[in-house]
Amino acid sequence: MASVSHLALPRIWPRRRANVLAHPAEPGQKGEMNTPFRNHPLRLRRSLLSVPASNARALEKSATLACDGIIFDLEDSVAPESKAAAREALKQHFAGLDRASPVERIIRINSPSGSDGPADLEAVLACGPNAVLLPKVCEPQDVLAVADWLADQGVDDSPRLWAMIETPAAMLNLAAIAEAGRTSGGRLDCLVVGLNDLRLATGIADVPGRPFLVPLLMQVVVAARASGLDVIDSVHNGFADIGAFGAECEQGRQMGFDGKMLIHPAQIEPANRSYGIQDGAADEARAIVSAFARPENAGKGAVNLDGRMVERLHLDQAERLLAKVELIAKKENRT
């Protein structure tokens, strides 16, 4: 097995950068100026609970929870002297998991260039998660170097890569980082905002309603959407104040986030509710799909739906929303 030491690569784009699209354009990908680019399957990511890999009780309980994904953390929540034991605990936990479960499993590693990064990546190979969450991503190379390493190990298209956006440098390089998701072999599927580190690095105040952070949050959403990525809102530290948490979930949904990173099981239900299907949305989506399916509307770019002009981009949104409805129903029936 190749060493991970070569992750300290020169600050250049790997050869894959020249081949921009990882797959041929499909319906819903960016074949036209007004259609969104998408490069990964639709997944439920309403609620992503962070669980310290060093906490045996939390690992055991995580398998019973109704969240859409579990982020098994080897980074901030694990003390330096506990990281080796946490990796071993994680390997044992993954060995006993139900691989048919719809719950997405993500491992947040330490910096690949740090002392624990190489061992974390070896643990990723042993565990086989759905995705790897990279901390403190500052530039595209931070993503592409890990993608190259996984490819060199002969790993298939999974695990995917997620990027934590939690530094001023990341904010300045958002578009370039997100574009790694459009790069053949780049593996990037999702951006996750880390406001605790970003506040610390910038001095931005932690004020209810996040008024000084909203402009930065919107930049992350726009960058993610431009490259067909999902985007996850930051944790809410006051896990005992479910009312404030729910309000922040609603704010995030209105800004365009797909879901929220959580730190306590009590936050799962409010997050699933806020980032789920809103009242009447499924009925409206079915009406749009039905309108475009009528023979008289075949080939039309826009149709009249009850006095409102609806375009093909709305059809794309409606089909994705109904696919999400189906995913939620399957998950609820399973649990």
pLDDT at 13: 37
Residues of the chain with CATH 3.20.20.60: 41-274
Residue 118 reports pLDDT greater than 80: yes
| pLDDT of residue 189 exceeding 90 | yes
The model's confidence at residue 36, banded by pLDDT at 50, 70 and 90, is low
Q: Among 14-23, 148-157, 191-200, which stretch is predicted with the lowest mean pLDDT?
A: 14-23
Q: Which residue has the tokens 């739906």?
A: 305
What pLDDT score was predicted for residue 187? 94
pLDDT classification of 7: cutoffs 50, 70, 90: low
> What pLDDT is stored for residue 183 in this prediction?
81
Q: What pLDDT digit, counting tens, does each position of 49-105 carry?
A: 999 999 999 999 999 999 999 999 999 999 999 999 999 999 999 999 988 889 999
For residue 116, pLDDT over 90 is answered with yes
pTM of the entire predicted model: 0.88
Q: State how far the Cα of 303 lies from the Cα of 254, in Å rounded to an integer.
A: 26
What integer pLDDT is reported at residue 32 of this predicted model? 45
pLDDT(188) > 70: yes
In Å, the largest CA–CA distance within the chain is: 68
What is the model's pLDDT at position 158? 87
Q: pLDDT at position 28, please? A: 40
For 226-233, what is the mean pLDDT? 96
Tokens representing 119 are 């061992």
Name the average pLDDT for the chain: 89
Q: What percent of the chain is predicted at pLDDT more than 70?
A: 88
Does position 180 have pLDDT exceeding 50, yes or no?
yes
pLDDT in tens, 122-166: 999 999 999 999 999 999 999 999 999 999 999 998 899 999 999
β-pairing, 308-311 vs 302-305, is: antiparallel
- For domain 41-274, which CATH number applies: 1.20.1290.10, 1.20.140.10, 3.20.20.60, 3.30.200.190? 3.20.20.60
